[in-house]
Amino acid sequence: MNRTGPAEGGDTAPSHTLPGRMFYDTLWVLCRTLGVALFGIRYRLAEPIPPTGGLLVLATHQSHLDPLLLGLVCQRRLSYLARSSLFGWAPFAAMISALDAVPIDRAASSVTAMKTVIRKLRGGAALTIYPEGTRTSDGRVGEVKNGFALVAKRSGVPILPVAIVGAWQCWPRSQWLPLPGRIRLEFGSIIPAAEVAAMDERALVALVTQRLTELDTEARRVWSGGSPKPSPRRVALMAAKSAGRRRARTEESPDREGSTPRNLPPTVTTAAADSPLPREAAPTEAPSPPPPPA
């Protein structure tokens, strides 16, 4: 997992200095251990996440745990949006800055916030946005707002949809502190930037809504005790191994009846050589002439 690589797009934020990387890695190991122990975190990737380049991660929003959960299971560092008021206290501001938080001033115009997000994506960052706009009130996927569509089209980056299930049961909005439980994340196939650019905003919102709903359904099925589907990469590896075993068995077994085995030198055979040679007929003795008359 590339958690300590250099910043992308010329980013020189404190989170990518040596102390920032050390703090991030230390906190990552601690949170990963606690997350697996307390929440039994499990996840499935439909395909590998691009290690570089701008990426818009659209996730369902269940609890305050969501940014932490996504950061613990992704192979690359993710940035996320945080209201600027959280940066008022210096120690806390330093901590969330080290975790790649992007300050957004809710009092300012939405255009300013959108420009900040687009600039971050164009700079090569992987940024998380919750298209529902707020945490779910009942654990289900809420209405997907269209604000992300303009950001995705203007920044020209691919979209990665993700469904989170179980985090609401661990930490609902009505609860002050989280409780132990089980959490599952289901990552969908990446929507390429060219496909995003070719759709209008309404079609893009409809596609993302469909993907998130399907991923949520699959995550709930496995979360409730169903067997997880193997990832496409694992399916391809299993198919390649099976084909290799069949090829090896074919090469080791003899060919069809009547043909020469591959491992032996070719031999020319004929029907005459295979059949027994006929015996040579014995010569017939000529009869003796009669004696002459006396």
Dist. CA 74–CA 202, nearest whole Å: 29
> HSE-up of 286 (CA within 13 Å, CB side)?
3
Residues 228-275 have pLDDT tens digits of 887 666 777 778 888 888 888 887 765 555 555 555 455 444 444 344
Domains along the chain? 15-225 (3.40.1130.10)
Dist. CA 197–CA 207, nearest whole Å: 13
Residues 99-149 have pLDDT tens digits of 788 888 766 667 888 888 999 999 999 999 999 989 999 999 999 999 999
Amino acid 47: pLDDT? 93
Q: Is 31 left (phi over 0), alpha (psi -120 to 50) or beta?
A: alpha
Core vs surface per residue 105-124: b (16+ CB within 10 A) or e: eeeeeeeebbebbbebbebb
- Using CB atoms within 10 Å of the CB of residue 172, give its burial: 0 to 12 exposed, 13 to 18 middle, 19+ buried: middle
* Threshold 0.95, pTM exceeds: no
60 in Cβ contact with 132 (< 8 Å): yes
Distances (CA, A) of 9 to 120, 190, 249, 294: 9, 21, 51, 137
